[in-house]
Amino acid sequence: QTHTADRQLEQIFIFISTVHLEIIHSASLLPQLNHTIYLRDCHFQGPHIISVSSLSTVGLSCVGKFRCGSSSQCISTFAQCDGVVHCENEEDELGCVRLSGRSSVLQIQRKGEWKTVCSEDWNNWLGISACKQLGYSRFWLKFVVFLSVVLFLCTCSSGLVTTLKCLECGSRPQYSTRIVGGNISKPGQFPWQVSLHYKSEHLCGGSIITSRWILTAAHCVYGFEDSSLWAVHVGLTEQLIHGAQSLTVESIVYHSRYRHRGLDYDIALMKLARPLVFNGIRPICLPNYGEEFTEGTMCWISGWGATEEDGETSVVLRSAMVPLISTKTCNQPEIYKGLISSLMICAGYLEGGIDSCQGDSGGPLACEDSSVWKLVGATSWGSGCALRNKPGVYTRITKSLSWIHKHMEVSIGQSGPELRTI
């Protein structure tokens, strides 16, 4: 499907037809701020992870430039995504492709700016290559090759842009029915929901985003770095049921800017040791860059968390519909007193009664958009559970898309258990 777009003269135009591809091979307690706690069971303890991010190199020397994480070298933003490797580990040629807006318009980064991709002579091979740059395949065509073809096709007499879909996602059976105050979920109602078990016990929730990747919260994995102690259970509605699909974890990564007992950058990825088979379970779609989800939009939360504050986790998967709350409202003095950053999104009822709780952490805040389900948030924290003026707080996924896709891209072809920060 095509969409007319405003163009700048320097934009790159390539697309001619839509490419639809399915590439599936491929708590600790916080400081006591009104009893603010992580929404995770707190009785699991373990060694802390030493982040390998280069904290000592953070300074003013790279202001307005791109920092190579592997060597702390600073390069011009014009050198980023130019098809020439300047950083030791090729970081400057990662994250050079993105999908933008509700229509999933393809854009590439060039000379420090994002350019809309549009034009003649587009083909499926280029579509597959673009999806690989986003991490949707085991097999990777390096950006330098893709860029050389894109720049060659730099005319656009039609002035049209095209949407790109790399993975069939966000679909589920329809339900007529509507956690704390929530309902018991039906089989298949949330086919992207997973239960993350640490040492054979449910610890957190998560969401399937591809056949190899699970998205969850950083505070779920911080201090629990041994991937061999984790198992991902999919297709579950009851925790004690036998025969559900259980998969081992190959590697775990949390955001390098996440800090223990912190609130921002509460996001992590688990890479499965083998791909999921989508036979009843399905991935949820990631939102695109620039997508907005407005206040009052009704979305769903789900998980096996406690059904009351300080209670036991639920044996059955529960779910509830909650409205999104604006950051301005959520930062009011009677609510969260300015604690909500642009990296977070609030959802719930200010009167209380329905909320996520301990054990739901990392699970999905899923919103339906034109019959497609998108992962708008990951359960992060809150003050108590289902209290008045204390709605749930979720990691805002649109603010972490670059991090997600960069890690998926750089991990293509890698194997072996590890935990890293990027």
Q: Which residues of 228-259 are buried (b: 16+ CB within 10 A; e: fewer)?
A: eebbbbbbbbebeeeeeeebebbbbbbbbbbe
**396, two tokens:** 């805002």
List, by residue number, the catalytic residues.
219, 266, 361
Mean pLDDT: which of 56-60, 144-148, 355-359, 373-377 is highest?
373-377
Q: What is the pLDDT of residue 187?
A: 74
Q: Which residue has the higher pLDDT, 84 or 363?
A: 363
Contact by Cβ (8 Å): 61, 126: no
If you average pLDDT over each of 35-49, 268-282, 389-403, which comes out highest?
389-403
Return d(Cα 32, Cα 35) in angstroms, integer: 5
Higher per-residue pLDDT: 387 or 240: 387
User: In the predicted model, is pLDDT for residue 172 greater than 50?
Assistant: yes
Checking if the pLDDT of 295 tops 90, the result is yes
**pLDDT tens-digit readout, 93-118:** 888 889 999 888 888 888 888 887 76
What span, in angstroms and rounded, lies between the C-alpha atoms of 236 and 241?
8
127-143 pLDDT per residue, tens = 788 888 888 864 444 44
pLDDT, one tens digit per residue, over 319-369 is 999 999 999 999 999 999 999 999 999 999 999 999 999 899 999 999 999
Residue 237, pLDDT score: 79
pLDDT score of 223: 93
Tell which residue, 291, 218, 292, has the closest CA to residue 255. Answer: 218
Q: Please say if the pLDDT value at position 22 is more than 50.
A: no
Q: At residue 100, what is the residue type?
A: S
Residue 150's pLDDT band (cuts 50, 70, 90) = low
Residue type at position 173: P
pLDDT of residue 161: 66
Could you tell me the domains of the chain? 2-26+73-165 (no CATH), 189-284+401-421 (2.40.10.10), 298-399 (2.40.10.10)
